[in-house]
Structure formats: structure tokens, C-alpha cells
Structure 1
Amino acid sequence: MLELRPNCELCDRDLPPNAIDARICSYECTYCAACADDVLKNVCPTCGGGLSPRPIRPEKAYRHPEISLGLLFHPAGRTRKHSRWDREAIAAMTARLASVPPEER
């Protein structure tokens, strides 16, 4: 199940489960849209993959009560994470990969 991390791993901005500006890579690294676009240039500093909008998990189960879906049953994570890479390492990765489309990396 997708981990909904509570913050941007670069600037530490809060990203609640319903944040429309949360971006993730395929390993669930999480960034705000401003960092993803302006700093990272759509390059995950950890894996080099692209960053996509994070899906919104519904607050409640809309199907049947016996199907335990939604934030009530699967809450967002509370552990704040931070990128292990410093700005210099991030800039180097971004410079190397920003001009290569994610599907070609």
C-alpha cells in the first residue's frame, strides 16, 4: 500500500493526505510541487526517476463498510522523512538527468 508521507523531504513543508501538490517517485520519495519542479526538475535525488502527482486517498470507505478502505482504516504516515542528499549532490543529479525524459532514464 502506498505510504502517504507527511512532508516534503526537501523543504519539510507539510503535505497532508489530501495535498494536491504532493509529488512522489516510484519508491515513494515525497516532495512538494515547488521543490519537484523548481529545485529537482522532475528528478528524484534518490533514484533518478521522475516525480508524479501523489494520489489522494479518500477519507472514508465509499464501497461497503466491510471493505476497510480509506484513511480511517489506512491512515497517512506520521514519520517525517528528509532527503539524505545535500544540495550539492541534488544539483549534480538534477544537472545530469533533467534533460532526459523519465521514461528514458
Structure 2
Amino acid sequence: MLELRPCCEHCAATLAPDSLEARICSFECTFCAACAEGLLGDVCPNCGGGFVPRPVRPARDWKGGNSLGTHPARTEPKHRPVDLAAHAGLVAALGGLPPEQR
């Protein structure tokens, strides 16, 4: 199950468990929409993959104990600002390949 990390790895913007601004890659690297889509150009600086909106875990237990109450979001931040010069090199190396072809 997803960790639901509490902040953007780059800018440290708060990303609550119900945030519609959270973006993740397939390794759960977590960024805010502004960083993922604008600053990083839909290229994860950690793995080179693309980003998708992070799902929202139900706050209420609708079925089988699958809720934030039973499975809370992570509280420890994972803040590691992106080296933008190195990221530009990664983006250049990808040559415009869309995420599904990387």
C-alpha cells in the first residue's frame, strides 16, 4: 500500500493524505503538482519515470478496514531537493521520450 508521503520531496510543500496536488512515480517518489509538472517536466529526478496523481485513501472505513484510521499516512517527511542542473541532463538524455517508453 502507498506510504502517502506528507510533503513534496523538492519544495517541501505539505501534501495531506487527501491532497489532489500530490504526484507520484512508480517508486512512490512524491512531488507537488507544481514541481512535478512544471519544474521537473514530468520526469522523476530519482528514476526517470513519469508522474501520475496520487490516489486518495478513504478517510472513513467503508469496507474491510481500508481507511486512514487503519492504515495511516506516513508522517516522516522525505525532503531531498532536486539538483536542477543534474536533472536537466537527465531530461536531455531522455530525448523527449514519453513516460510509457522510458
Please tell me whether residue 83 in structure 1 is matched to residue 70 in structure 2: no
| Counterpart contact for 2:10–2:81, Cα < 8 Å | no
Normalising by structure 2, report the TM-score: 0.92
Name the amino acid aligned to 1:26. S
- Within 5 Å, give how 1:15-54 maps onto structure 2: 15-54=15-54
Q: Which runs of 5+ in 1 are unaligned?
A: none
Aligned to 1:9: 9
Superposed CA offset, 1:51-84 (max 9, x none):
0000000101112xxx221000011101111236
For residues 97 and 43 of structure 1, the distance between their equivalents in structure 2, rounded to whole angstroms, comes to: 9
After the TM superposition, which of the residue ranges 75-84 and 89-98 deviates more from structure 2? 89-98
| Counterpart contact for 2:10–2:82, Cα < 8 Å | no
- Structure 2 CA distance for partners of 1:90 and 1:36, relative to 1, 3 Å: same
- Structure 2 CA distance for partners of 1:82 and 1:53, relative to 1, 3 Å: same
Q: Which runs of 5+ in 2 are unaligned?
A: none
Name the amino acid aligned to 2:91. T
| Counterpart contact for 1:43–1:98, Cα < 8 Å | no
What is the CA-CA distance between 1:89 and the residue it aligns to?
1.3
After the TM superposition, which of the residue ranges 53-62 and 86-95 deviates more from structure 2? 86-95
Name the amino acid aligned to 1:3. E
CA RMSD for the aligned pairs?
A: 1.4
Please tell me whether residue 99 in structure 1 is matched to residue 96 in structure 2: yes
Aligned to 2:55: 55
Aligned to 2:65: 68
Q: Equivalent residue of 2:59, what SS?
A: coil
Say how many residue pairs are matched. 102
